[in-house]
Amino acid sequence: MATKTDVFQHPDYYLMDELLTDEHKLIRDTARAWVKKEVSPVVEEACQKAEFPKQWIKGLASIGAFGPYIPEQYGGAGLDQISYGIIMQELERGDSGLRSTASVQSSLVMYPIYTFGTEAQKMKYLPKLASGEWMGCFGLTEPDHGSNPGGMITHIKDKGDYYELNGAKMWISNAPFADIAVVWAKDESGAIRGMVVERGWEGFTTPETHGKWSLRASATGELVFDNVKVPKENIFPEIKGLKGPLSCLNSARYGIAWGAIGAAMDCYDSALRYSKERVQFGKPIAGFQLTQKKLAEMVTEITKAQLFTWRLGVLKNENRATPAQISMAKRNNVNMALTIAREARQIHGGMGITGEYPIMRHMMNLESVITYEGTHDIHLLITGMDITGIAAFE
């Protein structure tokens, strides 16, 4: 298993570093240094054993990966959206499962509490989530409602001084160890409402999903609600309808667009290094045209994604990034990363299937990333709807 020193260097073909501030670069170097020191040496084994290394939580909190853009008064770091993206890129360069844990905590748990929560909810939950003392998860998907979350059947009933919650969520990242869950359920009028459910409440269980071939270093599970009593102060008061969960997904998808670049860069960096060292027919395989085609296309696609996503970050900072623009970047970048992982795997030959190199792990991880937070096809249909004005997925 990989115990080699992590010598990763990012490609910067179009000098994108010049578009970043000194603080962005410091944040990137910090996240990268932490990944090299704490993640790379153990990630292969964690994946082989399908275990989330709990010791990562403290480190993630200290590098600001939990709620980077949440204001400081609630324990966040008060950073801009490009900083958030860069942190996600560096984490996913290490492992998509690691990035998923941070994405969920930041965009799917802290973001809705910050955006839709009452002051009391914010004060109660955000500082502890930022410090990693509490971990959260996000329950939207159900066994029978994935791409179509609006059809959900999990629901709440008003019982006077509390709501009674019933139903089940599936495929929930961080569920097995989360202290709290942001849950979306329908009220009696059929409107989707959000709420914070705490571990330990009667009737709330989180069985773990086993046997994944992907995101093995991230824990996935179900959320089962059997007559759970949710205090009224735990409901998000105003937000109703799908736009609640969708705005969270928007923030997470934006982070994934950056994250995927990280995974792609790691595959490219490894393939470039390997192809210069591996000699066949008397010369490094990097000297063969077919290998060069693969490498040249990889760096071209990474460069395009870097610039495209940086621009999206600028728009996001200005509050102008549309959900459809974010869909386009998520779809493009994850697909780009998956294609690069597959090509990089070929360059590594037989070595590419082992844990000696990160390639196969990235490749398998990206199969989840291309499915969750809106599948590859659904994002295409969002672009289609945006440009034609006609929804093709309903």
Partner 1 sequence: MKILVCISKAPDTTAKIAFKDNNTAFDENNVQFIVNPYDEWYALVRALELKETLGGTVTTISVGEVDMDAIIRKAFAIGADDGVRIDAPATDAYFVAEQIATFAKQGAYDLILTGKETIDYNGSSVGGMIAEMLNLPFVSLATKLDLSGTTATLECDIDGGTEVLECNLPLVISAAKGMAEARIPNMRGIMAARTKALQVIAATTADKLTEIKSYTLAPGRTTCKMIDAENAASLIDMLHNEAKVI
Ligand X SMILES: Cc1cc2nc3c(=O)[nH]c(=O)nc-3n(C[C@H](O)[C@H](O)[C@H](O)COP(=O)(O)OP(=O)(O)OC[C@H]3O[C@@H](n4cnc5c(N)ncnc54)[C@H](O)[C@@H]3O)c2cc1C
Which residues are marked as active site? 373
Q: How far apart are CA 157 and CA 141, in angstroms?
A: 20
Q: Which does 173 bind (CB under 5 to 8 A by kind): ligand X, partner 1, none?
A: ligand X
Rounded Cα distance between 269 and 196, Å, is: 41
Among 1, 3, 13, 25, binds partner 1 (CB under 8 A): 25
**SS3 (DSSP) at 335:** helix
Residue among 11 and 150 whose Cβ is closer to ligand X: 150
- Which among partner 1, ligand X, none contacts residue 78 (Cβ within 5 to 8 A by kind)? partner 1
* Residue carrying structure tokens 């291309």: 370
CA–CA separation, 88 vs 85, rounded Å?
Answer: 5
CB of 92 to ligand X, least distance (A): 14
Residues 370, 334: contact at Cβ < 8 Å?
yes
Tell me the closest approach of the beta carbon of residue 248 to partner 1, in angstroms: 22
Residues 58, 3: contact at Cβ < 8 Å?
Answer: no
Closest CA to 39 of 51, 29, 53, 49: 53
Binding site for ligand X (CB under 6 A): 104, 137-141, 146-147, 171-173, 215, 220, 368, 371-373, 375, 377-378, 381, 393
Structure tokens at 332: 């493009």
Partner that binds at residue 33, options ligand X, partner 1, none, CB closer than 5 to 8 Å by kind: partner 1
Could you tell me the smallest distance in angstroms from the CB atom of residue 300 to partner 1? 19
Q: In the complex with partner 1, which residue's Cβ is closer, 34 or 310?
A: 34
Residue type, 176: P
Judged by CB under 8 A, the chain residues 63 through 92 that form the site for partner 1 are: 63-64, 68, 72, 77-79
CA angle, 264 then 112 then 101, to 5°: 35
Min dist. Cβ of residue 231 to partner 1 (A): 32
The residue whose two tokens read 């799917």 is 108
Binding residues for partner 1, rule: CB under 8 A, are 9, 15, 17, 22-23, 25-27, 29-30, 33-34, 37, 62-64, 68, 72, 77-79
